[in-house]
């Protein structure tokens, strides 16, 4: 791949690189899904190949599983792992309390199961993912195919009582056909614009028959690692109440990205 990256990819890379500091040999690591998480998997693969890092990875999607195997990470299932030391994943949005919206890649069900079965969840993101209030990014919910339209009507009815600015619901498509998750379900995207009470929203949605899981991650994320195009990385640990700034020199090292596949 070319050694020069776009500003957004540089930000994702340095966030992923810094997140690798949370991983040690012998750990069982949840591996997220999405473009930022893909950088993490590649960075971990580089450590496995070049520095002898020994980890077992639990992927959150079939796409991540393939990438992890391709870069040399030992892949196991969550049932085999039973419990994880850390999960590292991206986010579509996060707020000041480290509440998240996830699911833009259609894997939030597995991502939430894996993150919840971990001692810590680390979120890696670029600065654009920080919001004052969740909801600008459409909130995904995974629903059973059986009775999906009935479930949609129940969701619309539930939204009438929620503190939101929009109430449009759309079935996620993959070309001319509905998008199908790894579990064989549909996804509805809720275009809410603003979610006044994410905790209430999450509880209400998961009470609807037919809804398998929603993309709100509440009280799950422990640390957010935010990358910038300049090479700066901001690390905020909500558990310890600490913040830190790290700087990577991305200008002088022409080969910093050379070993990473696209």
SS3 119: strand
> Is 112 domain-assigned?
yes
Each residue of 153-185: pLDDT tens digit?
999 999 999 999 999 999 999 999 999 999 999
Same domain for 97 and 193, yes or no, is: no
Whether pLDDT at 90 is above 60? yes
Whether pLDDT at 260 is above 90? no
Same domain for 154 and 77, yes or no, is: no
Each residue of 16-75: pLDDT tens digit?
999 999 999 999 999 999 999 999 999 999 999 999 999 999 999 999 999 999 999 999
Supply the CATH number for residue 204's domain: 3.30.70.260
Which residue segment(s) compose the domain that 159 sits in? 139-214
**pLDDT level of residue 250 (50, 70, 90 thresholds):** confident
Distance of CA 118 to the CA centre of its chain: 14
> Is 163 domain-assigned?
yes
Same domain for 28 and 148, yes or no, is: no
pTM exceeds 0.85, yes or no: yes
Contact 134, 93 (CB under 8 A): yes
> Is 176 domain-assigned?
yes
Q: How many angstroms separate the CA atoms of 30 and 84, rounded?
A: 7
**pLDDT level of residue 79 (50, 70, 90 thresholds):** very high
pLDDT recorded at residue 1: 31
Same domain for 51 and 18, yes or no, is: yes
Q: How many angstroms separate the CA atoms of 184 and 187, rounded?
A: 10
> Is 256 domain-assigned?
no
Asked if 183 is an active-site residue, the reply is no
Q: What share of the chain is helix, strand, coil (3-state, %, to 5)?
A: 30, 30, 40
> Is 133 domain-assigned?
no
Whether pLDDT at 228 is above 60? yes
Residues in binding site: 33-36, 89-92, 102-105, 129
Same domain for 148 and 78, yes or no, is: no
Reading the block at residue 8, the tokens are 């957004």
Same domain for 236 and 123, yes or no, is: yes
Same domain for 113 and 232, yes or no, is: yes
> Is 260 domain-assigned?
no
Same domain for 28 and 145, yes or no, is: no
Same domain for 63 and 145, yes or no, is: no
Same domain for 36 and 160, yes or no, is: no
Same domain for 22 and 124, yes or no, is: yes
Q: How many angstroms separate the CA atoms of 123 and 255, rounded?
A: 26
Same domain for 78 and 97, yes or no, is: yes
Average pLDDT (203-232) is 98
Among residues 46, 93, 111, 152, which one is catalytic?
A: 111
> Is 236 domain-assigned?
yes
Reading the block at residue 104, the tokens are 């833009």
More confident residue, 251 or 30: 30
Domain count, the chain: 2
Whether pLDDT at 262 is above 90? no
**pLDDT level of residue 241 (50, 70, 90 thresholds):** very high
Residues in binding site for substrate: 33-36, 89-92, 102-105, 129
> Is 1 domain-assigned?
no
Q: Which residues contact 96 (CB under 8 A, 6 or more apart)?
A: 132
pLDDT recorded at residue 249: 85
pLDDT recorded at residue 251: 64
Each residue of 103-150: pLDDT tens digit?
999 999 999 999 999 999 999 999 999 999 999 999 999 999 999 999
């Amino acid at each position: 791949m070319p050694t020069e990256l776009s500003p957004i990819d540089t930000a994702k890379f340095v966030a992923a690189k810094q997140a690798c500091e949370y991983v040690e040999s012998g750990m069982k690591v949840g591996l997220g899904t999405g473009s930022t998480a893909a950088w993490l998997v590649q960075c971990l693969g580089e450590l496995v190949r070049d520095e002898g890092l020994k980890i077992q990875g639990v992927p959150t999607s079939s796409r991540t599983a393939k990438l992890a195997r391709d870069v040399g990470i030992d892949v196991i299932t969550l049932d085999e792992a039973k419990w994880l030391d850390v999960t590292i994943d991206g986010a579509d949005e996060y707020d000041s309390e480290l509440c998240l919206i996830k699911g833009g890649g259609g894997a939030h069900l597995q991502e939430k199961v894996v993150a919840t079965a971990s001692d810590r969840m680390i979120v890696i993101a670029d600065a654009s993912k920080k919001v004052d209030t969740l909801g600008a990014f459409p909130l995904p919910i995974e629903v059973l195919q059986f009775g999906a339209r009935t479930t949609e009507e129940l969701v619309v009815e539930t939204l009438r009582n929620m503190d939101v600015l929009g109430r449009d619901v759309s079935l996620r498509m993959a070309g001319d056909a509905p998008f199908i998750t790894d579990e064989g379900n549909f996804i509805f995207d809720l275009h809410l614009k603003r979610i006044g009470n994410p905790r209430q929203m999450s509880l209400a949605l998961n009470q609807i028959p037919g809804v398998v899981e929603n993309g709100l991650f509440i009280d799950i994320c422990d640390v957010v690692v935010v990358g910038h195009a300049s090479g700066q990385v901001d690390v905020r640990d909500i558990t310890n109440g600490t913040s830190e700034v790290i700087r990577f020199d991305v200008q002088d090292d022409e080969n910093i990205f050379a070993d990473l596949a696209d």
